[in-house]
Structure 1
C-alpha cells in the first residue's frame, strides 16, 4: 500500500525516494518488494504527499489513477471471483494479505441495500482521514473495473470533519450522499449490484489464490476491542513491574490521550483496566503457586 502511494507520487513528478525518506522509511524497505511495511508509514505518506501537492483533494485524485493489480494478491483475490458480491465477500477474511491495520465488516443491512464499515486501527488525525479516503476510494474504483460498469455506491460516510468543499468526493464516488462526522466510516451499495458478473472472473485462479492467502496474517481486531488490546499490554508490563499509561500506549502505537478516549468509547477507563489486570495477574500467580505445591507433594522423590 505505501508503494502504491510512492508510484502515484512518481507519476505526479515527485521523487518517491525523497518522500519515503521524509516519512522515515528505511532504504532497505524500498529495495525489497516482499517486505511488510510498518503501518505508520501509510498515513504518513499520504500526509506528506498532500502537503507536497498543496491540495486537500490530492488523495482522491491519486486513487483515481488506481488500476486493479496495483495491490497485488488482494486485488486478484477480489477480481477473480465470479460476481461482485462474491468478490467483496473475500475482503474481510483476506484483508490481512495487504494490511493488518484495516478491517472491513458488514454494517447495516436492509431489503435493498448493504453497508460495509471500515475500521482503521493505528492512525490518527489527518493521516487517518486520508488513509480512509484512499481505501474507500480504491474500493469503488475497483468495483467499477471488475464489473466493467459505472457502478456507484448509494452513499458514503466518513468520520472526518467536513472539508471546506467536497466536490471531489461527489465526483469520485458518484453520489451526492456523502456524509461527514459519521460514527463510522462506511459505504453502502444496492443489493442488486452484488449479482453483477465480474469481467475479470477466473474460478480456477481464485481457488489457488485463496489457499495461499489463508496463510497470510489475520485481520486486526475490531476497533471496539481496545480493552482486549490494553489487557495484553498490561499483562506484559505487570511482568516487568508497575504498568504506566504512556508505556502501554506506546506499545499499542498510540498516544496516552487517544488510548484513554478509546477506552471511554468502549465503556471503561484506564484505572478500571489496570485493576482488572492486577487481579488477573494475582490469580495467575496464585494458580502457578498451587500447581507448584501440588507437583512437590505428588513427586515421591522430592524432599
Structure 2
C-alpha cells in the first residue's frame, strides 16, 4: 500500500495545536514532518506520519476529539480540486461518485463508496493501510469532512439517519452529537454515513459545469498510475464484505472495463488475482485473532468451500486455519510471530 497523503491533510493543524497549548512545529518534526509542508497541496507526506501527528496531538493535548475538531477547521477545503467536484456536480449522487473516483489523487490509502439500499443511501469511508496507528482519529476526521460536504450540498440543517464507526468510542458522546447530530453506532462492520435515499437526487445549487470539467480534466492528468493497485486493494477489501470481490465487480465500481483494469494493474507490476490473494491473506490473519468459526472466516474471505480456505491458509502461513487461530489467540504452546 502506498503510504502517502498530500500535505493538505495537515491544513490548520498548527492553529489547532497552538490553541490547545501545544507546540505544532515540535510535534510535526518529532514524526519527520516538515512544518512547512502542512497544508501544502503539492507535497506528499507519509500517511502514517500524518496519522501519528494527529493521534499524538489527541493524546498529548488531552483532546480525544482532535480528528473531528480538525475536520471542522478544514472542511472540504482540505480536498483541493476534489472540492470543486463536490461544489459543481449535477447531483449529490454524482458528487459522491466523483469523490470516489478521484480521492486517491489526494490520499491513495483512502477510499469512499456509495451503497444504495431501499431505505438508505450509505456513504462509506475506509483507510486501507495495514495496521495503521491512530486509524480512529483519521476516520473521524474523514467522516467529519464528509459531513461538511453533505451540509454544503444538502443544507446546513442536514442530519444523517445514523453514523456507524468500526472503532470503539474514543471521545465524549457530546463531541459526536455536535459533529453528526444523529445516532452513532460503534464497532460496526464499516465506517459509514447513512442518508435518506431521496437526498441523492438533490441538485447542487450554483453549480458551474465549466469548473467541474476543468477539475476533472486536471485530476485525470495526475499520475494515473500512482495508486491504481492501492485503489483496487481497498475496493476489493470492501467488496469482500458483501461477497462481490471479483474482477468484474471491482472494475465496475471503478468505472473501468475489466480488461482495462487488468492492463493497468499489469503496468503496475501486479494483477487482480495477486491483490485478491494478498487481501485475503491479511484478512485471514486479522480475523483469526477474533476467534470466530473457521467456516465464517472462509465465507468472509469469499470462499464457497472451507476446504479452499484451508489450502490457501497452508500456502500463506504453513499451517491449518485452526492452528493459525490458536496462534493468533495466544493459545499456550503456539508461536506468536507472523511468518514472512
**Normalized against structure 2, the TM-score is what?**
0.63
Three-state SS of the structure 2 residue aligned to 1:119 is strand
The match for 1:5 among 10, 21, 41 is 10
Q: Distance in 2 between matches of 1:191 and 1:257?
A: 34
- Aligned partner of 1:208 in structure 2 is 214
The match for 1:84 among 79, 82, 92 is 92
The match for 2:172 among 145, 165, 171 is 165
Mark the runs of 5 or more structure 1 residues left unpaired by the alignment: 237-251, 276-303
CA gap 1:89/1:164 in 2 versus in 1, 3 angstroms: closer
The match for 1:18 among 26, 34, 43 is 26
CA gap 1:45/1:208 in 2 versus in 1, 3 angstroms: same
- Aligned partner of 1:103 in structure 2 is 111
The structure whose RCO (Cα within 8 Å, separation 6+) is larger is 1
Measure how far apart 1:11 and its partner are: 4.0
CA gap 1:59/1:123 in 2 versus in 1, 3 angstroms: farther
Three-state SS of the structure 2 residue aligned to 1:129 is helix
- Aligned partner of 2:286 in structure 1 is 261
**Normalized against structure 1, the TM-score is what?**
0.70
Q: Distance in 1 between matches of 2:39 and 2:146?
A: 27
The match for 1:74 among 79, 82, 85 is 82
Alignment of 1:1-303 (within 5 A): 2-13=7-18, 14-25=22-33, 29=37, 33-107=41-115, 109-110=117-118, 112-124=119-131, 127-163=134-170, 165-175=172-182, 177-216=183-222, 217=226, 218=228, 219-221=231-233, 222=235, 223=237, 260-261=285-286, 266=301, 268=309, 271-273=314-316
Measure how far apart 1:21 and its partner are: 1.0
Q: Distance in 2 between matches of 1:10 and 1:157?
A: 29
- Aligned partner of 1:295 in structure 2 is none
Mark the runs of 5 or more structure 2 residues left unpaired by the alignment: 1-5, 247-264, 270-277, 289-296, 304-308, 319-340
CA gap 1:30/1:137 in 2 versus in 1, 3 angstroms: closer
> Which of the pair has more CA radius of gyration?
1
| 1:92 and 1:105 in contact (8 A); partners too | yes
| 2:97 and 2:114 in contact (8 A); partners too | no
Q: Distance in 2 between matches of 1:15 and 1:24?
A: 15
CA gap 1:121/1:4 in 2 versus in 1, 3 angstroms: closer
Deviations 1:205-260 (A, max 9, x none): 101211221233443522258999xxx9xxx9xxxxxxxxxxxxxxx9xxx99872
Q: Distance in 2 between matches of 1:16 and 1:29?
A: 12
| 1:107 and 1:115 in contact (8 A); partners too | yes
Higher mean alpha-carbon deviation, 150-159 vs 28-37, is at 28-37
